[in-house]
Amino acid sequence: MKYANIIINISHEAVDRPFTYIIPEAMEQNICPGTKVMVPFGAGNKETMGYVMDILDYPRVPIARLKEISSVVLTQDASEGKLIELAAFIKEQYGSTMISALKTVLPIKKTYRTKKEAIAGRESVNDKSGSVAEEGADKNSGGVAAKLDSAGTNNIEESMAGSCAMGQSVSKEKVSVDSPNSVGTSRIILNEQQQSIIEDFTKDYDSGVRKTYLIHGVTGSGKTEVYIEMIKRVVAMGRQAIVLIPEIGLTYQTELRFKRYFGDRVSVMNSTLAPGERYNHCERAKRGEIDVIIGPRSALFTPFLNIGLIVIDEEHENTYKNENMPRYHAKEVAEKLAQIHGASLVLGSATPSVESYFNAKAGVYKLYNLSKRAIGEQLAHTHIVDLRKELIKSKKKRLHRKNFQED
């Protein structure tokens, strides 16, 4: 007989701990960490949904006190088990409830009608209501059809609700994200500093070394090209990469740059995508049809099976801190996710955060420097000004002007 520790889907601190249940023999093959199940809970044995945290050979409480799992809601895929481990880290690190952390990293279920069903429904209304209803349906059909077309099939799962992305029109978003495109054939010409970083990273990666790297590169030094070359090497080994950017507004231009090299194996993930689009990206990621995901901090929770590299561009930005519950720092969560998958983490910035630069200088991170602009342009001339002296000069000028006016 097997047993399961289950976290109950109730957001209350009093039940924010695992409860042990008996796994019926008929369900043993379908239950593993991450599986969603229905269980009798409480004195009234109310059927409640929960998540399996781990499987036990021996329970820690008397068997006579245990209840059986009622049913399996959805069999677990390999990616969910790792995301549940990540949720446990968020709970412990940031003091949230486990169920709140789970809802952050796992998809939320929602059902959508297919496009055919929606059209059939509109036709039924048109038959009853006549030309007025038909005229209204025609006016709205474009937007409704677009949303329903992205939904695809019945009983679709979504990760987050949203509207269209980045202020772009729906049609433009469709072209940039969903249009078929062959794998890019563009080549990157690297300068000496860039090539040195790639060679050192590749040597580590091929040797099985997984660590955190900080690329301290001046503006225009070609950090993105270095990211792309790193990702190429990881993808060639059959693994996936996540690229975090500090704000949604940068998604479109970043995606276009990556599509030159990875074609339609690149996708985006953020909270502004329509539910159907987001679902499609999650499913493609699970099926191994996507190699690279680009997006803000929520892109960390893309259900990849085998992440090999996580890149955080402009790692110093405060937007990587989630201020809603559960609160978390994407950089710290990325470090844990990289550890879970056995992946490398690359941080990049022209002005690294104090803690990242300290860790690099202390040897916790490996530090790479890009001190020259990639295209050979000279940096703007700069000089330091002591504003205290400028303030004194300003005061003297005002005093002189005042004395002159009085005279």
Q: Which helix (H) or strand (E) holds 307?
A: strand 307-313
Inform me whether the pLDDT recorded for 258 exceeds 90.
yes
pLDDT tens-place string over residues 104-149: 887 654 444 444 444 444 444 444 443 333 333 333 333 333 333 3
pLDDT at 42: 87
> Which of the residue ranges 22-26, 99-103, 309-313 would you say has the lowest mean pLDDT?
99-103
pLDDT at 75: 55
Inform me whether the pLDDT recorded for 312 exceeds 90.
yes
CA-angle at 301, arms to 346 and 188, nearest 5°: 40
Higher-confidence residue: 384 or 407?
384
Higher-confidence residue: 157 or 38?
38
- CATH of span 2-106: 3.40.1440.60
- CATH of span 180-370: 3.40.50.300
Inform me whether the pLDDT recorded for 150 exceeds 70.
no
Spatial separation of the C-alpha atoms in residues 294 and 336, rounded to whole Å: 19
Kindly give the interhelix angle for 115-129 and 131-151, rounded to the nearest 10 degrees. 170
pLDDT at 395: 82
Query: What ranges do the domains of the chain cover?
Result: 2-106, 115-155, 180-370
**What are the φ/ψ torsions at residue 178 (nearest 5 degrees)?**
-105, -15
pLDDT tens-place string over residues 210-226: 999 999 998 888 999 99
String of DSSP letters for 130-158: THHHHHHHHHHHHHHHHHHHHH-SSS-EE
Dihedral sign for Cα atoms in the order 190, 348, 337, 291: negative
Residue in the block written with tokens 């503006």: 219
Q: What is the mean pLDDT of residues 346-359?
A: 96
Q: What is the mean pLDDT of residues 381-388?
A: 85
Higher-confidence residue: 188 or 204?
204
* Reported confidence tier of residue 244, pLDDT bands at 50, 70, 90: very high
Q: What is the mean pLDDT of residues 359-373?
A: 93
pLDDT at 97: 83
Spatial separation of the C-alpha atoms in residues 348 and 367, rounded to whole Å: 10
Spatial separation of the C-alpha atoms in residues 256 and 168, rounded to whole Å: 14
Spatial separation of the C-alpha atoms in residues 260 and 267, rounded to whole Å: 13
SS3 43: coil
Spatial separation of the C-alpha atoms in residues 356 and 224, rounded to whole Å: 19
- Whole-model pTM? 0.69
